[in-house]
Structure 1
Amino acid sequence: MPFIELQTNLPASSFSEDFVKKLGSSTAAALGKPEDRMNVVVKPGVLMLMAGCCSPCVILSVSAIGVTDTAEKNKGHSAKIFDFLTKELGLAEDRIVIQFNALQPHQVGKKGTVMSFL
């Protein structure tokens, strides 16, 4: 049950429901997770500074159980996600940062319990 949160200073008009769905499907594919388990949030119009500059940029947080826990895994995920974001948003790689967070099953609640018990 990955959580994807994209924060950007690009305006809301740059995003559509179709983009959110594509972001979900592309990150699901990158992480090797089913699309129906993805949770995606897009926060446009955020005041942001990256590398000393307020030019268009993106910070993407990827939190997941079991697939973001090593450098080797995240290197592969990063390449696939960067490919999607640079093509879809027209941003250079140096204007995108991805943060990977490894979650444990006891840290994710669902259906009145936690994933450890599902």
Structure 2
Amino acid sequence: MPLIVIHTNLPQADIGSEQLRNVSTGSAEILGVEPKIVQVVINAGSPMMFGGTEEPTAMAFVHSAGGKLKQEANDEFSAKFTDLIVKSIGVPKERIYMLLDDVPQSSACYMGLTIASLTH
């Protein structure tokens, strides 16, 4: 169950259903999962500073319990998610910071059960 959380200082008015849908479907494609299990949160209008300026910026957290975010593939995932964020919300790639997190299936939950128990 991937969870993508993006904080940005772009105005809330610039973020709507289209941007959420683009990040959701794009994330599903990148991770090779069904869009129905991807959750996306975009927190716009956040007071943020990066590199000493308040120019448009974003901080992204990509969490996945599917075992796909492995260290040897993270450069590829980083490039793909960065491109997705640039295309979806318009923040320049040099203004995006990201954390990729491969969550153990025993620590991710859905419907009151761990992903590990749901998949076995």
TM-score between both structures, scaled by the size of structure 1? 0.91
2:15 and 2:89 in contact (8 A); partners too: no
* Offset, 1:100: 0.5
Are the counterparts in 1 of residues 19 and 89 from structure 2 also a CA contact under 8 Å?
no
Which digits, 9 at most, give the CA deviation of each residue in 1:39-78, with x for residues without a partner?
Answer: 11110000111122111101110001201131x3211111
Name 1:92's counterpart in structure 2: 92
Q: 4+ runs of 1 displaced by more than 6 Å?
A: none
Unaligned runs of 5+ in 1: none
How far apart, CA to CA, are the structure 2 residues paired with 1:21 and 1:67? 21
Instruction: Out of 5-14 and 74-83, give the one that drifted further.
Output: 74-83
Superposition CA RMSD, Å = 1.2
Q: How big is the shift at 1:117? A: 0.8
Tell me what 2:109 maps to.
109
- Mapped pair 1:74 → 2:110: no
Please tell me the residue identity of whatever aligns with 2:52.
G
Cα displacement (A) at 1:112: 2.1
The answer as to 2:39 corresponding to 1:39 is yes
The total of aligned residue pairs comes to 117
> How far 1:87 moved relative to its partner?
2.6
Q: Does 1:15 align with 2:15?
A: yes
5+ long unaligned stretches in structure 2: none
TM-score (norm: length of structure 2):
0.90
Q: Secondary structure at the match of 1:117?
A: helix
3-state SS of the aligned residue for 1:106? coil
**1:111 to partner: Cα distance:** 2.1
Higher deviation after alignment, 102-111 or 79-88: 79-88
